Copies of this chain bind each other. A is one copy, B any other.
Amino acid sequence: MPDIPKKVPQVERAMERLGDAAYRQMKERIIRGVYRPGHKLTVRAVAQDLDVSTTPARDAINRLTSEGALVYTGPKTVVVPVLDSTALREITLTRLALEGLASEQAAQHGTPVDVEELKSLQRLINSALDEKRYAEALWHNKEFHFAIYRLSGLPHLVSIIESLWLRIGPSLHNLYPEFAEEKYGVRNHEIAMEALEERDAASLRAAMENDIRDGYRRLKRANQEKEGDCSA
Is there a chain B Cβ closer than 8 Å to A157's Cβ?
yes
Q: Which secondary structure dominates where chain A touches chain B?
A: helix
Query: In the assembly, what is the distance between CA of A48 and CA of B128, in Å?
Result: 53
Q: Establish whether residues B154 and A23, one from each chain, have CB atoms under 8 Å apart when the complex forms.
A: no
Q: Establish whether residues B97 and A23, one from each chain, have CB atoms under 8 Å apart when the complex forms.
A: no
24 contacts between A and B (CB under 8 A): A59-B62, A62-B62, A62-B63, A63-B63, A68-B156, A90-B155, A90-B156, A90-B157, A91-B156, A93-B105, A93-B154, A93-B157, A94-B101, A94-B154, A94-B156, A94-B157, A94-B160, A97-B98, A97-B100, A98-B98, A156-B167, A160-B163, A160-B164, A163-B163
Q: Establish whether residues B160 and A160, one from each chain, have CB atoms under 8 Å apart when the complex forms.
A: yes
Question: Chain A: interface residue count, which band?
Answer: 20 to 34
Q: Establish whether residues A66 and B68, one from each chain, have CB atoms under 8 Å apart when the complex forms.
A: no
A30 CB to nearest chain B CB (Å): 14
Query: In the assembly, what is the distance between CA of A63 and CA of B98, in Å?
Result: 23
Query: In the assembly, what is the distance between CA of A90 and CA of B98, in Å?
Result: 12
Interface residues of A (CB under 8 A from B): 19, 23, 59, 62-63, 66-68, 87, 90-91, 93-94, 97-98, 100-101, 105, 154-157, 159-160, 163-164, 167
Residue of A98, A155, A156 ringed by the most chain B CB atoms within 10 A: A156
